[in-house]
Amino acid sequence: GREWQLAARPHGWPTPADFALVEAPVRQPAAGEILVRNAYLSVDPYMRGRMNDVKSYIPPFQLGRAMDGGAVGRVVASAAEGFEVGDAVLHGLGWREYATLDAAHAVKVDGDLAPLSYYLGALGMPGLTAYAGLLEVASFREGDTVFVSGAAGAVGSLVGQIARLKGAKRVVGSAGSADKVARLVEEYGFDAAFNYKDAPVAEQLAAAAPDGVDVYFDNVGGDHLEAAITVANPHARFTLCGAIAQYNDTGAPTGPRNLALAIGKRLRLQGMLVGDHAALQPAFLADMAGWLKDGSLRYDETVVEGVENAADAFIGLLRGANTGKMVVKI
């Protein structure tokens, strides 16, 4: 089977030459293991951080070794109790066609309840990030005005819709194209949206949220964060989820120059890691499955076909080629 290895550590924006698709032997499962034929691979922004040789909350990818990440697939051989050939599983050995792993590290998923790819998105890690980041980290309350950046992406599109479904007064989003902005309002039910490439974020946000914001869900950092601090209402809560605007920066990042406003406004700026919120998983799955089933929440995917296109899909994700969750179908 083929697997993607990190060939070089990207400096700034990753290029195709930083990745290599390599033929690797498929190992039959030992006792307690399963062999999975992957059906969908996830590409996610956090993987960019793992391409740098720095200490972080998750270890870096090793050069010349297979990368890993979320994947769903079907068991094709099993030496583990409770796992049968044909079972659908979610696991962490993505970026490859075949994965041999300890069955304890796989979670069975229901392919009849939803398409398998949904377990990498709305029903998976990005979905829980949106749900926990809004409801738990930002302490969302009915009647809040919510602003979310990266609003047409996997996490952001869910944040805005969960806020609407949970009784937000106003939901505002930003994204990087006119098509995405139209989709936010027309398909996802945002009250207002803007293209951050059209004019300064501070100006556009002030116009879109004339009464300020109570919650800012930050996927982007940079001038988005600065603008949100400026328009924030007293006691607003910020979920610092991602800072994708700086993931490919080579120089020192620019901080929000107005951070001192947080003092007088008594803002709460809280970072999050989705892994801390596993306890919310049952409530999240029940809510999300219900919303998907009754059509009250729209979920989009951008599906790139072919394992050979996974590196391009990842680079495309960083450039905004996706609407909703970017996945690779293999």
Closest distance to ligand NDP from the beta carbon of 79 (Å): 33
Which residues in this chain contact ligand NDP in the complex, by CB under 6 A?
44-46, 126, 129, 150, 152-156, 175-177, 180, 196, 219-220, 241-242, 244-245, 272-274, 317-318, 320, 322, 325
Instruction: Give phi and psi for 83, each to the nearest 5.
Output: -120, 125
For ligand NDP, give the closer residue by CB, 153 or 212.
153
Closest distance to ligand NDP from the beta carbon of 19 (Å): 18
The C-alpha atoms of residue 79 and residue 121 are separated, in whole angstroms, by 29
For ligand NDP, give the closer residue by CB, 35 or 288.
288
For ligand NDP, give the closer residue by CB, 12 or 86.
12
Cβ(47)–Cβ(58) below 8 Å: no
> What secondary structure letter does DSSP report for 280?
G
Closest distance to ligand NDP from the beta carbon of 15 (Å): 16
For ligand NDP, give the closer residue by CB, 74 or 329.
329
Closest distance to ligand NDP from the beta carbon of 263 (Å): 25
Cβ(188)–Cβ(161) below 8 Å: yes
Beta-sheet pairing, 71-78 with 88-91: antiparallel
Closest distance to ligand NDP from the beta carbon of 141 (Å): 22
Rg (CA), the chain: 20
How many helices, marked H, and strands, marked E, lie in the chain? 9, 15
Closest distance to ligand NDP from the beta carbon of 60 (Å): 16
Whose tokens are 């929000």? That residue is: 256
For ligand NDP, give the closer residue by CB, 98 or 196.
196
User: What's at 107, amino acid-wise?
Assistant: V
Beta-sheet pairing, 19-23 with 2-6: antiparallel
The C-alpha atoms of residue 34 and residue 36 are separated, in whole angstroms, by 6
For ligand NDP, give the closer residue by CB, 35 or 243.
243
- The rounded Cα 283 to chain-centroid distance in angstroms is 19
